[in-house]
Amino acid sequence: MQTIKQQTFCGREFTNKEISLIQEVVAICGGISRYELANTVCELLKWKRPSERLKTRECNEFLELLESKGALTLPEKKRKRQTGSQKIIPENPCRQPKSILSGSVEEFTPLEIQRVQNRDQRDLFKELIGRYHYLGYAMPFGARLQYLVYVNRPHREVVGCVQFSSPAWRMRARDEWIGWTETRRKAALQQVVNNSRFLILARIQNLASMILSCTLRELRGDWERQYGLKPLLVETLVDQQQFHGGCYRASNWTELGKTTGRGRMDRANERHGAQVKTILVYPLVKNAVHQLREGDK
């Protein structure tokens, strides 16, 4: 891989450190598309328009420039839609209010776990997260899978939304618990998945724990089929000023400690202590930590 020094592109100057970061992102985010890579780089480097929209198109062109100089290798381009192929125009998504259902989860099982794959599902997921989750909806970092959770009695309705996405780059408590070297962290990081959004829409007892259990079962196969990587560990960050995180603890997640409060994008250490969160993890296989630390030996 070629060493590329400071570059200027579309009026922005990229430092040596930023180019090294871009190379790291591309190297360890295997399986995601060029579009997702460009969004990820824009988020990390805060490369945005005055309207706050990401400069995805410009970033994609910059990544291709770096590839032409031998600085990185991008995933293959997706094949374009064939001329004359039918474009599906979905109906407007249902604007579902928060559920009034209550009782024990056993009264509503089995739950229906629906992976978000089409425009209707994406619109509904974004609307529900945007309206009812305290963090709102934001473009997920890197890779992602999203699920809508339904009950089918007494009628069919959404009772939960779950999102999994790429892991945090660095978290001291997690990285020390695994026992990673820097080289091994870079190689294995994408086998960790972040539960980055979790929304419960009904006051049904034990619903949250059952949704976690059901979606984690789906996640293992879906993530490997989508991204070609076997997920070994799921992590989440709980803001305990907002939530206790009891459903995770009840589902045997392990608490590792606290974050520094900087957030994913604070690479200059300007926000230390601003958003301290509790780190919890859940192994998807028995020897997850060993595989993450040592590889599949």
User: Can you give the pLDDT at residue 244?
Assistant: 76
User: Can you give the pLDDT at residue 272?
Assistant: 45
pLDDT surpassing 80 at residue 113: yes
Which 3 state secondary structure label does DSSP give 163?
A: strand
Top pLDDT among 263 and 232 is at 232
User: Can you give the pLDDT at residue 91?
Assistant: 41
Query: With contact defined as beta carbons under 8 Å apart, do 211 and 200 qualify?
Result: yes
Structural domain spans, the chain: 7-68, 102-294
Confidence of residue 208 (pLDDT cuts 50, 70, 90): very high
Dihedral sign for Cα atoms in the order 224, 228, 233, 239: negative
User: Can you give the pLDDT at residue 273?
Assistant: 46
| Residue recorded with tokens 């990544």 | 63
Q: Which residues neighbour 145 within 8 Å (Cβ) at sequence distance 6 or greater?
A: 115, 116, 163, 164, 165, 219, 222, 223, 226
Distance of alpha carbon 15 from alpha carbon 5, whole angstroms = 7
Give the chain's length.
297
Q: What are the tens digits of pLDDT across the range 120-151?
A: 999 999 999 999 998 888 877 678 999 999 99
Taking residues 223-243, what's their average pLDDT?
90
Distance of alpha carbon 155 from alpha carbon 164, whole angstroms = 27
Stated as kind and residue range, the H or E segment containing 205 is strand 203-205
Taking residues 245-252, what's their average pLDDT?
91
The one-letter code for the residue type at 264 is R
Which 3 state secondary structure label does DSSP give 292?
A: helix
User: Can you give the pLDDT at residue 1?
Assistant: 62
Distance of alpha carbon 228 from alpha carbon 224, whole angstroms = 5
Of 257, 91, 90, nearest in space to 171 by CA: 257
Distance of alpha carbon 84 from alpha carbon 31, whole angstroms = 29
User: Can you give the pLDDT at residue 276?
Assistant: 85
Q: Which CATH number fits domain 102-294: 3.40.50.2300, 3.40.50.920, 2.60.40.10, 3.40.630.30?
A: 3.40.630.30
Q: Which of 147-161, 179-193, 199-213, 265-279 has the lowest mean pLDDT?
A: 265-279
Query: With contact defined as beta carbons under 8 Å apart, do 167 and 235 qualify?
Result: yes
Going across the sheet that includes 192-200, the strands are 112-115, 144-151, 157-165, 192-200, 233-238, 278-283, 254-258
The one-letter code for the residue type at 259 is T
Confidence of residue 262 (pLDDT cuts 50, 70, 90): low
Q: Which of 150-159, 236-245, 283-292 has the lowest mean pLDDT?
A: 236-245
Distance of alpha carbon 267 from alpha carbon 46, whole angstroms = 11
Top pLDDT among 178 and 28 is at 178
> Is the peptide bond between 110 and the residue preceding it cis, with omega within 30 degrees of 0?
yes
Distance of alpha carbon 279 from alpha carbon 225, whole angstroms = 27
Portion of the chain with pLDDT greater than 90, in percent: 50
45 — phi, psi (to 5°)?
A: -95, 5
Distance of alpha carbon 147 from alpha carbon 161, whole angstroms = 6
User: Can you give the pLDDT at residue 138?
Assistant: 83
Instruction: Give the helix ranges, DSSP H, for 15-55.
Output: 16-28, 34-45
What do you get for the CA distance between the two ends of the chain, in Å?
28
Query: With contact defined as beta carbons under 8 Å apart, do 272 and 164 qualify?
Result: no
